[in-house]
Amino acid sequence: MATPPPPGIGNFEGGPPPAAPQPPGTDMTGICFRDQLWLNTYPLDRNLVFDYFALSPFYDWTCNNEQLRMRSIHPLDLSQLSKMTGIEYMLNEVMEPHLFVFRKQKRDGPEKVTPMLTYYILDGSIYQAPQLCNVFAARVSRALYYISKAFTTASSKLEKIGYVDSENENEEVKPAKGTIDFKEVKRVDRILASLQRKLPPAPPPPPFPEGYVPAPASEAEKGPESQQGELQQPAADPIIDQGPAKRMKF
């Protein structure tokens, strides 16, 4: 890369001046510039940092600072820049020799300037600082990416847990005969309770017919042997056996 002559020095051998490169683009955040040969030759301080910045592709050769350099005036002389209008670079922050911050701005008067872009030199490497809206957009996009990834991971794990539970239910050993499965009992109770809530109440029992005499409690408490003896001589049912007069004749 051909470098321009230092400030105050004309063109060598009296040749024509080199053609000025095109102005840099607006978005150049994806590149950086570093000239290790220049860093090994000159110190990086506030007096020479602008000459180093002028070597980078971020530098606009149509700026007012370049006009001051051609007149052998320091390009960051504010007393001279305030009298001009157009594009200029200002050195905002300095932490020698590690950090230098340049601001590109448009000057419309001695006290009226409009900031445009910001550049910084960090340990000899020159970068364009991203705009605030781009920083917010990148942070929001990154946050949405990680949130979406977290939901996807959680969903996959929940599906896996449900699949394992269904397999365990299918492989569940059936209880042996004679044992009570409390889980099944609770399930049946829930079904019966839901049916009871849905069905209408049961009608009242019908009245006892005339002549019906309920059996005494002492007979209900008799053992099976006594009940077998009674079967041999069944007692007359008051409902069925109502006398020979009312029996059907075959």
Average pLDDT, the chain: 76
Average pLDDT over residues 201-225: 63
Average pLDDT over residues 7-21: 47
* Residue 250 scores a pLDDT above 60: no
* Residue 143 scores a pLDDT above 60: yes
Phi and psi at residue 132, in whole multiples of 5°?
A: -65, -40
In this prediction, residue 71 carries a pLDDT of: 93
DSSP assignment letter at 180? -
Tell me the three state secondary structure of residue 89: strand
* Residue 211 scores a pLDDT above 50: yes
Alpha-carbon distance 7 to 51, whole Å? 8
In this prediction, residue 1 carries a pLDDT of: 43
Average pLDDT over residues 131-159: 84
Better-scored residue on pLDDT, 213 or 116: 116
| pTM > 0.95: yes or no | no
Q: Got the DSSP string for 24-70?
A: P-S--TT-EE--HHHHHHS--STTTHHHHHTTSTT--TTSHHHHHHH
Residue 12 pLDDT class (50, 70, 90 cuts):
very low
Name the nearest CA neighbour of 97 among 128, 118, 129, 122. Answer: 122
For 92-142, write each residue's pLDDT tens digit: 999 999 999 999 999 998 889 999 999 999 999 999 998 888 888 888 888
Alpha-carbon distance 180 to 69, whole Å? 99
Residue 49 pLDDT class (50, 70, 90 cuts):
very high
In this prediction, residue 195 carries a pLDDT of: 76
Better-scored residue on pLDDT, 246 or 107: 107
What are the tokens at 21? 């490169």
Better-scored residue on pLDDT, 1 or 212: 212
Residue 160 pLDDT class (50, 70, 90 cuts):
low
